[in-house]
Amino acid sequence: MEWVGGVLDSGPIRRRRVITKGHVPAGQAGGNDVKLLVTGGAGFIGSVVTRMLLDAGHQVVVLDDLRTGHREALAPDATHVEASIHDAAQILTPDAGFDGVLHFAALIAAGESMVKPELYWQTNTVGSLALIDAVRAAGVPRMVFSSTAAVYGNPTELPITETAVKAPTNTYGATKLAVDLALTSEAIAHGLAAVSLRYFNVAGAHLTGDIALGERHDPETHLIPIALEVAAGRREKLQLFGDDYPTVDGTCVRDYIHVADLARAHLLALDAATPGQHRIYNLGNGNGFTNRQVVDVVREVTGHQLPVEVAPRREGDPAELVASSALARDELGWVPQKPTLHDMVGDAWAFYRTHVLEQS
């Protein structure tokens, strides 16, 4: 089972706050610093967004039960509440003074969602509804939601725009779409300023100064980290599912986005959130890369040969998934700063060598 952030039955709530040397509380930083709750802030994307929010001078409380989040990914200058998103009302009280919520906590394994759908509905949808209820009761004005490109299913048009048909092919995508719909209703009925960001394939790592935050799921299901495991000798070979698709080299085409670019979009979305509106943006590179192109870049960056085995197609895998992020560029002013595969694989490999291999 793969979990990201808050889940059910996490036991008693535990709070921890550690101030690093030289940290200036957001309330003393001046400017437009605000108090924010980040759910799933010990996960890959949530931890990077938390770091950027703190660096921008905001006060951050992380809600994460650490079932699959990593304690070492928690920002030491944030407050950590170890609890489920179902218990968010205990943190989001009317007198707590939160200015916004960024919601990442969810189950994310699409395959597992088809064999254990009840877990996904209970966590991703019921848990998110509990969070939305808490947001409303506490009078929190803004919410940014981590949605997914999985809401589109097999696309009928490329590149995929926000107005494309929503027809998820797995329970994971359906649970995320349900939350998107709930946020639209909440904005209309109660004036919430809501933004959903629909990600495509997130990669890379956030490396700045002494900070290194990267991807490490257990089990790992994403192509780039699996390829790095093969390059490091942790796996025997890399499987590519299908080489007879109608693409330039017969393998699937996917849109990749660097985690640092993705994180910056969340800060822009927080600023752009408008009362009574639910805005939705796709976030992708806009350029697709085939699986074989990913393999070639991993070989180049790591200097290792990557044994590859072609396996049969997986049922339901579309030939091509590429995002149109034009709306995010136009309305948020968002422009990816690390758009190349070399950027993403290079940062991911640097993180993997220093924080996975050396610490295992």
Q: Which residues are marked as active site? A: 172
Query: From CA 129, how far away is CA 234, in angstroms rounded?
Result: 40
Structure tokens at 107: 């189950």
Structure tokens at 35: 């108090």
Of the candidates 75, 61, 84, 81, which has an alpha carbon nearest to the alpha carbon of residue 3? 84
How many Cβ atoms from other residues are within 10 Å of residue 292's Cβ? 18
The beta strand positions in the chain, using DSSP E, are: 3-4, 14-17, 35-39, 59-63, 79-82, 100-103, 106-107, 142-148, 193-199, 201-203, 206-208, 211-213, 238-241, 253-258, 278-283, 288-290, 308-311, 320-321
